[in-house]
Amino acid sequence: MTNHSQHKTINWGIIGLGNIANKFAQDLLTIKDAQLYAVASRSQEKADAFASKYSATKTYNSYEALVKDSNIDAVYIATPHALHKENTLLCLEHNIAVLCEKPFAMNEAEVNTMIAKAKEKNVLLMEALWTYFLPHYKYVLQELNNKTYGNVIKLEADFGFYREFDESSRLFKKSLGGGSLLDIGIYPIFAALSTLGIPKGMKADATFFKNGADSSCNMTFDYGNSITAHLKSTLLEQTPTEAIFYCEKGTIKINGGFFMPTTVTIISNNKEETIDFNYKTIGYNYEILHFNELIRAGKTESDIMTFEFSKQLIKLLDDVRSSIKLEY
């Protein structure tokens, strides 16, 4: 590899300019050797406003126009869940590396199609599950892998906030994959999968809004040997949104907003210690840095957020959906 490619400025494009894209763009500004080069929205006005806010060079009023720009190295897809597959395939067809927001797609079949296309084109593709790259989460994974406090006996993870039901909002639109499970339930499930692996069995029950989107979901994953994960997602109430790992010789608690930059409390030998990771950003920069490194190294798959992991994650979401009889 030449020295140049190690320091090559990565030109990013963003498709879908909603709330999460704003956070991503804000953190992208903190990274050297990377820039927001182009943005696309169906509305030119929205694209222009976003571009001026984050100093993007180019704006496009269609995704098709953006992917034809040969200066783009990577595209971040932040459109509604139901569009992830078609937007990803569009970028991959044009040989552009894709970082696609979670959930990767609506179901396992869609995810398999996306991965197959990435392999066929030999182009980098990764699911943007930012939590995996956050220092506090990596610390917890290391402590659990090292069995610092023995084996995990039980995990409790929840994610809940209250929003008044609004038929027109993406969050509640069933056709777009709205509801609690795909939007936020993915995080407690991610916490279980990344630490305990694939469960031997599961039970789930849910409540539903009048349009059929799930308003809350309670899940129990069974890992055998009395090891369980109790997971919850809800749009009906604010919950602590913690991930608590009860181990044989202590407890590791990822504090409120466990999926985003936060602190970790270790409870062991009747002592409590809280570790602050001194975050200075929203937290999206960590996955961006990882992705930039993959591009520079000519990799087509992440060694952290692997295809296999993304497949397992969407399969668990599919299994929960089938258990609560939720169909999109």
Would you say 126 and 299 are in contact if contact means Cβ atoms under 8 Å apart?
no
Per-residue pLDDT tens, the chain, 328 aa: give them: 333 466 689 999 999 999 999 999 999 999 999 999 999 999 999 999 999 999 999 999 999 999 999 999 999 999 999 999 999 999 999 999 999 999 999 999 999 999 999 999 999 999 999 999 999 999 999 999 999 999 999 999 999 999 999 989 999 999 999 999 999 999 999 999 999 999 999 999 999 999 999 999 999 999 999 999 999 999 999 999 999 999 999 999 999 999 999 999 999 999 999 999 999 999 999 999 999 999 999 999 999 999 999 999 999 999 999 999 998 8
* Domain 3-127+283-302: top CATH class: alpha beta
| 324, 206 contact by CB (below 8 A) | yes
The segment(s) of the chain belonging to CATH 3.30.360.10 are 135-276
How many Å apart are CA 163 and CA 171, to the nearest integer?
Answer: 9
Q: What is the CATH number of domain 135-276?
A: 3.30.360.10
3-class DSSP assignment, residue 125: strand
CATH 3.40.50.720 domain locations along the chain: 3-127+283-302
* pLDDT tens digits for range 162-177: 999 998 999 999 999 9
CA distance 210 to 54: 39
Give tens-digit pLDDT for 141-160.
999 999 999 999 999 999 99
Parallel, antiparallel, or unpaired: how do β-strands 97-101 and 125-128 relate?
A: parallel
Tell me which amino acid residue 324 is. Answer: I
Q: 273 has which bridge partners?
A: 266
